Structure 1
């Protein structure tokens, strides 16, 4: 194999012309497409980072809103417990007051009935005393007759009940 200078020169000239034509018509558009692609990738990376930041902010906001909602729910539950406790205390207090009122009313009714019974008994006793006294006055009796008479009247009073 021998080295031919003419072929070598023609190859360099052809390569130069090819390089000039490629740089004028192919490399410029190719590099501009590559630059556009690089800018597009950079823009997408920036958008992805921005989206990631926005997503993280949204997640943080949602966590904060959830924590606030949980706190509000807990506060509502605590308030309901306090309210129900107060209502239970009020109901118990009203029941105690009603019980006391009913007990006092019953005691008054019992006292009134007792006084009526005592008054009726006094009336009965006084009428019996008058009847006994009138029987005694109409006839003279001894102790045995007096005991029998009192027993008889007591039986009569016992029968009236």
Structure 2
């Protein structure tokens, strides 16, 4: 195998001319496109980083909002429990008051009816007493007038002491 220096020299010279032509017409544009592509990728990475940070902030805000909503719901439930307990207590108090009032009214009505019944009974007893006394007096009058005056006096004393 022999080395042909002429071929090597022509090859180097062809490579140099090709490199000069590529450098003058192609490498500048190619490197510019590659630089734009690198900047575009870098910008997209920055935007993705910012978007990720914003998403993290948004997620934290949503977590906080959810926590606050749960706290508000818990407070509303507790307030509703408190209100219902207070209303139940108020209703029980009102029912007790109504029951006491009805009981007192019933006791007054019973006492009034008892008083009326006693008065009616007294009236009837008085009428029966007068009737009995008149019958006794009739018998006594017919049998003994002196004894009659004594009984009338005694009866009048008893009636006077009851009033």
Equivalence for 1:65: 65
Q: Which runs of 4+ in 1 moved over 3 A?
A: none
Query: Is 1:56 matched with 2:66?
Result: no
Equivalence for 1:3: 3
- Structure 2 Cα separation of the partners of residues 63 and 92 of structure 1: 43
- In structure 1, stretches of 5+ residues that fail to align are 142-161
Query: 1:29 Cα deviation (Å)?
Result: 1.0
Query: 1:92 Cα deviation (Å)?
Result: 0.4
- In structure 2, stretches of 5+ residues that fail to align are 144-163
Equivalence for 2:37: 37
Q: TM-score, normalised by structure 1?
A: 0.84
The answer to which structure, 1 or 2, has the higher relative contact order (CA under 8 A, 6+ apart) is 1
- Structure 2 Cα separation of the partners of residues 39 and 120 of structure 1: 118
- The equivalences for 1:1-161 within 5 A come to 1-140=1-140
Secondary structure of 1:86's match?
helix
Query: 1:6 Cα deviation (Å)?
Result: 2.0
- Structure 2 Cα separation of the partners of residues 126 and 46 of structure 1: 117
- Number of residue pairs the alignment of both structures matches: 141
- Structure 2 Cα separation of the partners of residues 100 and 4 of structure 1: 132
- Structure 2 Cα separation of the partners of residues 5 and 132 of structure 1: 177
- Structure 2 Cα separation of the partners of residues 5 and 62 of structure 1: 77
Query: 1:49 Cα deviation (Å)?
Result: 0.8
Q: What RMSD, in angstroms, separates the aligned Cα atoms of the two structures?
A: 1.1
Equivalence for 1:148: none
Query: 1:81 Cα deviation (Å)?
Result: 0.2
- Structure 1 Cα separation of the partners of residues 5 and 89 of structure 2: 117
